[in-house]
Amino acid sequence: MRNKFKIGFSIIAIAAGLLAHPAAGGTQAVSSAVSSAVSSAVLYESASVDGPYVELGEICAISAPQEIREAAAAVRVGIVPPFGATLVIRKSDLESRLTREKSRIGEFVISGAEKIEITRAGVDISAQELESALADYMDEYFGTAVSVKWKQKIDNLTLRRGKVDIEVKSPQYRKDALPQSISISVDGKLEKVIALSRFLDFEAPVAIATRTFSRGETVTENGVAIEKKSVAPGRSVIMDAAGCIDFEAARSIGAGEEIRRDALKIPFDVKRGDSVSVLIVMDGIRIETSATAAQDGYLGDSISVKLDDGGKVLRGILSATSTVIVEENSK
């Protein structure tokens, strides 16, 4: 019984000590006596606060002796809302909160707005910064060949605080594709994508067919002209004749039609019916002969050939010298 009495007495003594010295429990007390004068705080209509807690000094103009003013300013009155949300604190709620702090900071009279709207502080990104990023991208990839035609201006943005990265993007990251969007990330997390089609068009040189090209026909220099035209963001354009000459038409291209990238294909290095050389390697023996390609192919493709002597069909790799190499037992 004696030991239990001692333990109980110790707990009571500690509790009494915390009540006598509230600062020891984690609350900063005003060291001097609370002034008998009434202090005041003027509530703002709105405030932008950088979390995690909303403190009185961030939402009010406080008038009080310095020691009381500093203690009152640190009183927590709410939790900062997530970015994009709003926290509303009414004057009556604030008065109730300060009444609970009266023994520490004295009496306060609250005036000003009836309520305050609180948002999380963010970082401002100006339209000029976004347009500058686009201009730098255009200079790097297109020089003066392409100009920007604005339909409307991009709005300023406010995003959560952190390391901001602005990236201009083109579809499929093709060098000849005009940019289609601006992506904005904060601390590596994507926060906003701006579709450029809402805001602008481009004016770019475009390859135009001056005559009709049938499917499979090779595009020639005398059948191409370059004209400056309005082009939508994200479009892949051929801006010089060299970009389409010696390509094959993947479909019919009409006179006066813009020559698009998807209307062209790279010609096969060997077409079905072409004469090719054949090198047969078998058991260390090399045999050279001639044959006819039985299918289309690019260098490095495996294709079938029909030997001119006897008509036997073999399969081999089309090499850089337009020779089909047939390895041992390849048939």
What averages of pLDDT result for each successive group of 10 residues across the chain (331 residues)? 36 31 40 64 94 92 94 94 90 93 92 94 92 94 91 90 91 78 93 94 95 94 94 89 92 94 90 91 86 92 91 89 75 49
What pLDDT shows up at residue 13?
33
Position of tokens 């002969």?
289
- Nearest partner of 320 among 298, 301, 299, judged by Cα: 299
CB atoms within 10 A of CB 27: 13
Per-residue model confidence (pLDDT) at position 2: 40
Can you give the pLDDT at residue 158?
85
| Structure confidence at residue 306 (pLDDT) | 93
CB atoms within 10 A of CB 147: 12
Tokens of 70: 């500093």
- Kindly give the pairing relationship between strand 323-326 and strand 275-282: parallel
Rounded to whole angstroms, how far apart are CA atoms 284 and 326?
Answer: 12
CB contact set of 265 (below 8 Å; sequence gap of 6+): 247, 248, 250
The pLDDT assigned to 328 comes to 63
- With 0.75 as the threshold, say if the pTM is over it: no
CA distance 196 to 331: 55
Report the C-alpha gap between 138 and 200 in whole angstroms: 13
Residue 33 pLDDT: 46
Residue 3 neighbours by CB under 8 Å, 6+ apart? none
Task: Count Cα neighbours of 24 within 13 Å in the Cβ-side half-sphere.
Answer: 8
